[in-house]
Amino acid sequence: MDGGRPGLGALRGSRLLTSSPADAAALKVALSAEARANGFSTIGITDPDSITGARERLQTFLDAGAHGDMDWLANEPARRASPKVLWSDVRSVIMLGMNYGPDENPLALLEQKTRGNISVYARGDDYHDLIKKRLKIVARWLIAQAGGDVKVFVDTAAVMEKPLAHAAGLGWQGKHTNLVSRDYGSWLFLGAIFTTLDLPRDEADVNHCGSCQACLDICPTNAFPAPYRLDARKCISYLTIEHKGAIPRDYREAIGNRIYGCDDCLSVCPWNKFAQEGHEAKLAARDELRAPSLAELSRLDDPSFRALFTKSPVKRIGRDRFLRNVLIAIGNSGDTSLATEAQRLLGDENPLVRGAAVWALSRLLSPAEFAALANAADDTDETVQSEWAAALS
């Protein structure tokens, strides 16, 4: 059993589920109880062939280049679009969701310009580690009860979790392409258990978006060219997490104080009125990550960055890309007192950080002050020089 290396390390059991429909139904009820006992909020089962059309939609996305730097999405799309291509022995896909509903409105923090806004999912411990451990517990229970083989996946392998969750009845993919649940709104982490057991299926959920397009209208960068279509290259979550280089100038102002991810399209969904606050302690927001000071974040060196974000998904982008994001937020803050923090980072070792500092200063200093600083600049890195030139033009 392995969530990151499909096809390796499957758990195997010697017992076999009987062919009796009553036995299968009873097992499904017990499986649901076991999943909930391990912190999962919802569970459904679907056929591995249930996501018809997924490959075509994925290929259209890739052909448009909408995946940006996420080259891993383009690797073997056939495996991603079909569980049976990923693992030929799979007979049932068990989809599980864990609620991580916030205890406050994520949109409110956008008004606190000198504070950094970290996406709700990243304010606690890394969900990958937590959910994978829980999936393994449930999978072992299933083997002990009924035998068969299993593999678990949580957002780390070629599995299209959202279409499968839709097919398993956990919710539907909204116009923002994310899963929406009638019970949990936009706030579900997803995990999957593939099994060789033939388990009773659930019905796919129905799309309840109707004429609403609040998620499309609120997007700061217009990342949705059409309902149910995302251009990741414009998405703030992509730009602040997956994108490795300088953030394109066209999107910097729209980023505001979002320093890791963006929850706007999730937060505005009307179905969140039925959402519940998450109760998994390890996923709860840490106080120091709820509304961190941009000034304090700008002073992080690599050891202090790693210490602050221990067990957090934020740590995976590294200190330099994170400070790039912080400096964009500083530039958008309108607080001239933060110019001293940005000016200090003109001397940072990493050109990505230095370039972002140039942009921030161009927004905070008067034209005369910025021109004087530019005249004294002697950075030899071409990317940083291009930032100076663009800011002065």
Q: What pLDDT digit, counting tens, does each position of 14-64 carry?
A: 454 545 777 889 999 999 999 999 999 999 999 999 998 777 888 888 888
Q: What is the mean pLDDT of residues 102-116?
A: 96
Q: Which of 116-125, 148-157, 212-221 is the least confident region?
A: 148-157
pTM value is 0.92
Same domain, 185 and 331: no
In the 3-class helix/strand/coil scheme, how is the chain assigned residue by residue?
A: CCCCCCCCCCEEEEEECCCCHHHHHHHHHHHHHHHHHCCCCEEEEECCCCCCCHHHHHHHHHHCCCCCCCHHHHCCHHHHHCHHHHCCCCCEEEEEEEECCCCCCHHHHHHCCCECEECHHHCCCCHHHHHHHHHHHHHHHHHHHHEEEEEEECCCCCCCHHHHHHHCCCCEECCCCCEEECCCECCEEEEEEEECCCCCCCCCCCCCCCCCCHHHHHCCCCCCCECCECCHHHCHHHHHHHCCCCCCHHHHHHHCCEEECCCHHHHCCHHHHHCCCCCCHHHCCCHHHHCCEHHHHCCCCHHHHHHHCCCCHHHHHHHHHHHHHHHHHHHHHCCHHHHHHHHHHHHCCCHHHHHHHHHHHHHHCCHHHHHHHHHHCCCCCHHHHHHHHHHHC
Give a yes or no: residue 5 inside a domain.
no
The pLDDT score that the predictor gives to residue 19 is 58
Same domain, 35 and 147: yes
Q: Which of 5-9, 240-244, 374-378 is the least confident region?
A: 5-9
Q: What is the mean pLDDT of residues 353-378?
A: 97
* Number of domains, the chain: 2
Q: Which of 77-91, 314-328, 374-388 is the least confident region?
A: 77-91
* pLDDT band per the 50, 70, 90 thresholds, residue 137: very high
CATH code for the domain in which residue 159 is found: 3.40.109
Give a yes or no: residue 117 inside a domain.
no
The pLDDT score that the predictor gives to residue 12 is 53
Same domain, 181 and 309: no
The pLDDT score that the predictor gives to residue 290 is 97
Q: Tell me the catalytic residues.
A: 155
Residue 13: pLDDT over 60: no
Give a yes or no: residue 6 inside a domain.
no
Span 284-339, pLDDT tens digits? 999 999 999 999 999 999 999 999 999 999 999 999 999 999 999 999 999 999 99
Which range marks the domain in which residue 18 is found?
11-103+122-195
